[in-house]
Chain A
Amino acid sequence: MAIPNFLYKNNRVLLKELTKTDFKLRYQGSVLGYLWALLRPLMMFAILYVVFAKLLKIGGDIPHYPVYLLVGTTFWSFFTECTNQGIQAVVTRGDLIRKICFPKYIVVVSATLTAVINVLINLVVVFVFALIDGVTPSWTWLLVPILLFELYIFSLGISFLLGAINVKYRDITSIWDVLVQALFYAIPIIYPIAMVAQTSATAAKIILINPISQVIQDLRYTIVTKETITTWSYVGEENFFWKFIPIIIVIIMLIWGSWYFRKKSKKFAEEI
């Protein structure tokens, strides 16, 4: 099998069919159907908004805070959905892998693409919400796909690595559940990073070299307000190199993940 595997027409057809099936079946048998793709993250947002913005009064001085929060929760949901589906993909599709020979990465990509479709639908809501809340449209909105792509690549790298380990050690799924819970608080989704920066600049910097934080802050910068603290503006005053840490982590994750997945995929059929 040559390296530009995804360029094979047949692999693309299979990827398309599997993704279509996944998406079609996701909300089968529910009354509201695809609407749940929108409702679920909106409801999560509503809960967080009531608890954190209204009750705990966090983020009071940030302009358009509801949109700011919505951007955070939307892309965080994307990351968790993407990795959860991606890590599970090989095991869920075990029946296929045991009986047919095809490039195994396709099941991971198709599982994660469903999350991409969902986040694209949600992105429309984010923009509508932003306009209603009085955010001025900006040409920087056009940069959103690039940031989404970065987050996707990162999720894919994680899915490949952990998904491959998960075939043999199913503990990975549970470990990842806990890790995701911890990550939620290690990323400025519900609290503004400025709050952390006030107490400890170092802590804020550590938070910001996490690729997920970088992407979410950049998205807030491009969509909501230019007053957002981003990795680029906050990290690496002494050493310019630090600004590139998140993107380097993303690239390493993808290379490491796909290398490991490729190495292990030969044995998937026997080990599932």
Chain B
Amino acid sequence: METKNEPVVISVKHLHKSFKLPTERAWGLKQAIFNRLKGIKGYKEQKVLNGISFDIYKNEFVGIVGRNGSGKSTLLKTLAKIYFPEKGKLEINGTLIPFIELGVGFNMDLTGRENVYLNGALLGFSNKEMDAMYDEIVDFAELRPFMDQKLKNFSSGMQVRLAFSIAIRAKGDILLLDEVLAVGDAEFQKKCNDYFATIKGHQTVILVTHDMGNVKKYCSRAILIENGKIALDDEPQKVAEAYEKLWS
């Protein structure tokens, strides 16, 4: 990895995370009291992250891959500080913009414009900062004539385009993306591809994906997660091969 002389922006050490999965119907007060009286725990502990450690350097484009349920999304949510790890250390230098899902907080009854500002506020941008980004976002989405319409009158493709434009135009030091690359029509896809090609090497991006094509195309490094552990942390080419071997 050639970028090692850059400063570390994300440092993760021995991250552990487990979830309490309710075994039977442990929902509601009645069941909780019953379980306590009977001495049943009412849940099963599921280990999702099992001692993950890595450093991410500035301007790296890191792909995180792995099969369903391997812990990628949990890792991403932990990086985004949505989940709190029970053990381990997480250090982040710089502002981190998470996109676990596109268009979080989008409301169908608000106009496109209002939604952009609301989404921005959720990501931690002030109205002033959003004013500065607004034109870029709208232009990238190519939705200027529609911005004063309610979101419910947007086609679903248009909604995703708007959400995606906010995601990539939001000015942050680190971008977290969870499987959100394939959106819009062919033309918009091409635009996104071009955009990713231009930011590669200029912006820190962490991308969770199943698409090995994207990993090889954009990533400067890839991490394969298997059973909550890092199975391989290497060049995208090698990781993509290892990923494909998981099923052979």
B101 CB contacts on chain A under 8 angstroms: 99
Once A24-B110, A171-B29, A270-B83 are accepted as A-B contacts, the answer to whether A100 and B104 lie under 8 Å apart by CB is yes
A142-175 CB mask vs B (1 if < 8 Å, else 0) is 0000000000000000000000000011111000
Question: Among the interface residues B77, B80, B82, B100, which one has the most CB atoms of the partner chain A within 10 A?
Answer: B82
Q: Do A96 and B124 touch (CB < 8 A)? A: no
Q: Do A28 and B30 touch (CB < 8 A)? A: no
Once A25-B109, A28-B109, A170-B28 are accepted as A-B contacts, the answer to whether A102 and B83 lie under 8 Å apart by CB is no
* Cross-chain contact of A17 among B28, B32, B121 (Cβ < 8 A): B121
CA distance A45 to B243 in the complex (A): 67
B29 to chain A, nearest CB (A): 4
Once A17-B117, A96-B104 are accepted as A-B contacts, the answer to whether A101 and B81 lie under 8 Å apart by CB is yes
A28 CB contacts on chain B under 8 angstroms: 109
Q: Describe A's contact surface by its main secondary structure.
A: helix
Q: Is B146 an interface residue (CB 8 A)?
A: no
Q: Is B123 an interface residue (CB 8 A)?
A: yes
Q: Do A14 and B122 touch (CB < 8 A)? A: yes
Q: Is B118 an interface residue (CB 8 A)?
A: yes
Q: Do A169 and B32 touch (CB < 8 A)? A: yes
Q: Do A95 and B104 touch (CB < 8 A)? A: yes
B163-191 CB mask vs A (1 if < 8 Å, else 0) is 00000000000000000000000000000
B110 CB contacts on chain A under 8 angstroms: 21, 24-25
Q: Give A101's nearest chain B residue, CB to CB.
A: B81
Q: Do A171 and B124 touch (CB < 8 A)? A: no
* Cross-chain contact of A102 among B19, B28, B124 (Cβ < 8 A): B124
CA distance A102 to B77 in the complex (A): 13
Q: Do B107 and A102 touch (CB < 8 A)? A: no
- List CB contacts (< 8 Å) of B128-151 with chain A: none
Q: Is A266 an interface residue (CB 8 A)?
A: yes
A68 to chain B, nearest CB (A): 39
Which range contains the number of B residues in contact with the other chain?
20 to 34
B28 CB contacts on chain A under 8 angstroms: 169-171
CA distance A18 to B120 in the complex (A): 11
Q: Do B80 and A101 touch (CB < 8 A)? A: yes
Residues of A in contact, count (CB < 8 Å): 29
CA distance A270 to B125 in the complex (A): 25
B120 to chain A, nearest CB (A): 8
CA distance A269 to B124 in the complex (A): 18
Q: Is A54 an interface residue (CB 8 A)?
A: no
Q: Give A12's nearest chain B residue, CB to CB.
A: B126
B104 CB contacts on chain A under 8 angstroms: 95-96, 99-100
A102 CB contacts on chain B under 8 angstroms: 122, 124
Q: Give B102's nearest chain A residue, CB to CB.
A: A99
CA distance A81 to B90 in the complex (A): 40
B26 to chain A, nearest CB (A): 10
CA distance A18 to B109 in the complex (A): 14
A172 CB contacts on chain B under 8 angstroms: 29
Q: Is A140 an interface residue (CB 8 A)?
A: no
* Cross-chain contact of A101 among B30, B98, B117 (Cβ < 8 A): B98
Q: Do A14 and B82 touch (CB < 8 A)? A: no
A95 CB contacts on chain B under 8 angstroms: 104-105
Q: Is A203 an interface residue (CB 8 A)?
A: no
Q: Is B127 an interface residue (CB 8 A)?
A: yes
B109 CB contacts on chain A under 8 angstroms: 25, 28-29
Q: Is A202 an interface residue (CB 8 A)?
A: no
Q: Is A136 an interface residue (CB 8 A)?
A: no
- List CB contacts (< 8 Å) of A62-80 with chain B: none
List, sorted by A's number, 7 A–B pairs whose CB atoms are closer than 8 Å.
A18-B121, A21-B110, A21-B114, A99-B98, A99-B100, A100-B80, A267-B84
Nearest first, the 4 A-B pairs at minimum CB distance are A17-B121, A101-B81, A171-B29, A99-B100
